[in-house]
Amino acid sequence: MKNSILFSSVTLTSALLIAACGDETTTAGIGGSGYVSSGTITGFGSIYVNGVKFETLGSTFDVDDNTSLNENDLAIGMRVVVKGSLNPDGVTGTASSVKYDEALQGPVTDLTTVDSTNLTFTTLGKTVHVSSTGTSFDGTSFGFGTIENKNNVEISGYFDSAVDLIATRIELKEKAFDPTTSKVEVTGTVTNIVGTSFNLIEFPNVTIDTSTTLIFDGLSAPSNGTLVEIEGKCTDISCTDIIAERVERESNELEDASQVEIEGIITRYADINDFEVNGILVDASTAQREPTTLVPSQDMLVEVEGLIVGDVLIASKIELEGGENKVAATATAANASTRTIELTPVTGQTIKVKIDTSTEIDDEKSGINNLDDLLIDLEATTNNFIRIEGYDDGSDTNTLIAKSLKREKEADDVILQGIVTAGTGTSTTITVLGIDFPVSVGTEYFDSDEITQLSQVEFFDTSNTQLGVSLIKIKDDLSDGLGTANKVELESD
């Protein structure tokens, strides 16, 4: 479905999926006595990964192969691998090591606006998906609205089954890519060696030239089937040819793991006891599901935790990450002690949002990166415009569990996305997430292609929209005051 982290198509090899978050190579041989958590950083104070607060005093840090660093060199949205221990409470632990490797670095080309909250671009022949709520950016001058073609960017994220990269963080390395001086990085599995050149299975349209490579780290020479990280320069901005300066063999970060928590996209789904996340085989047949209505499917972003048994992750819990519900509105109440806020998309009507340690935060207004500090600030201040992405917890149609929370610098269009539960071709309100959103003769209706305009009657024809089933997005640009929809759009499945 649009506007969420759900995409589909062919299967990616397990090697790249694990390499994308730092836990590289295939799943063969995993299983041991250690604890490993692989996922995005959602907050600091120490660091939060997969809903666990890890103390980092005494931890070692490896950021892009630089080990003389500390916690301050990490950022929200980075995909990391944490090794250490988990406390009995399940929400705190101690990190012995934290490792970060980007998924890609290269130039932005073919930048395309999908809609007001989603972009795509291409780098190294790979399609990158960017979300205004699900992608973090570095700095205050570089962000969703300012990314440009020819930017040289470092990307952290997840590969889906179409081998597209779903970006969780983008950092600007250079304003303008220069093929003669700009660095690119890519990780993949060696194939099709011809002389001193080869391809990567995951990047078939990119040719790696090692004829002038000075450093081969961890291997004497590339061989087919070896997982490697390439650093080098492109011959032009298309980056179909890379002149390698360094070729490094990647290792398996799950080699000594027995207990794991892994965040990633389901890239192959056969059944609840047979699917893959980040290339790891998962059996979730006896797992607790959150929400309880969760039905796993291919290209769904999830967090899975459990024990490694014979190279299979026997899940004790599987949790939905992201979510199809989205709200962008002013916060009219906040309670730091209960970790809740209330958003008001329509005057006099609120949605309660629950926030926990797994909620990824992005504060563009004040730059706060600690969850508790942000909640305290929301409670103490007014005029906070918040974007959240999450899911209905099943207890109340007006309550959402936030998987991401972004505080904007200033108010923007009000957005309400969820399953439509009431509305007709002649009604004056449309109900989504328990909010009766007013519509008028000026409200525009669109099919899921975002191009085909429909009348209100056509929109609510059962061949298009089914109450209790169809996902829709309501937009209010505030031009006529708070609380009247300017645009209603059917979201695709």
Give yes or no for residue 294 having a pLDDT over 70.
yes
Q: Which of 478, 465, 327, 461 is nearest to 402 (CA)?
A: 327
Q: Is the pLDDT of residue 362 over 60?
A: yes
Beta strands (DSSP E) in 291-427 are: 301-309, 312-320, 325-335, 340-346, 349-354, 360-363, 384-392, 399-407, 414-422
| Assigned token pair, 326 | 């989205």
pLDDT digits (tens, 9 = 90+) for 96-105: 999 998 889 9
From the CB of residue 40, how many other CB atoms can be counted at a distance below 10 Å?
Answer: 25
> In the predicted model, is pLDDT for residue 19 greater than 50?
no
Cis (ω within 30 of 0) for the bond into 291?
yes
Cα separation, 87 vs 313, in Å, equals: 20
Strand partners, 170: 137, 155
The sign one gets for the Cα dihedral 429, 430, 432, 434 is positive
d(CA 444, CA 107): 37
* pLDDT of 265: 94
The pTM assigned to this predicted structure is 0.83
Pairing between β-strand 126-131 and β-strand 60-63 as defined by DSSP bridges:
unpaired
At residue 250, the 3 state secondary structure works out as coil
Distance (Å, rounded) from C-alpha 350 to C-alpha 388? 14
Beta bridge partner(s), residue 92: 53
Using one digit for the tens of pLDDT, what is the confidence trace for 422-472? Answer: 999 999 999 999 999 999 999 999 998 888 999 999 999 988 899 999 999
Q: How many helices (H) and strands (E) does the chain have?
A: 3, 38
Q: How confident is the model at residue 36 (pLDDT cuts 50, 70, 90)?
A: very high
Cα–Cα distance for residue pair 191/224, rounded to 1 Å: 5
What's the pLDDT at 253?
Answer: 66
- The mean predicted confidence, pLDDT, of the chain is 87
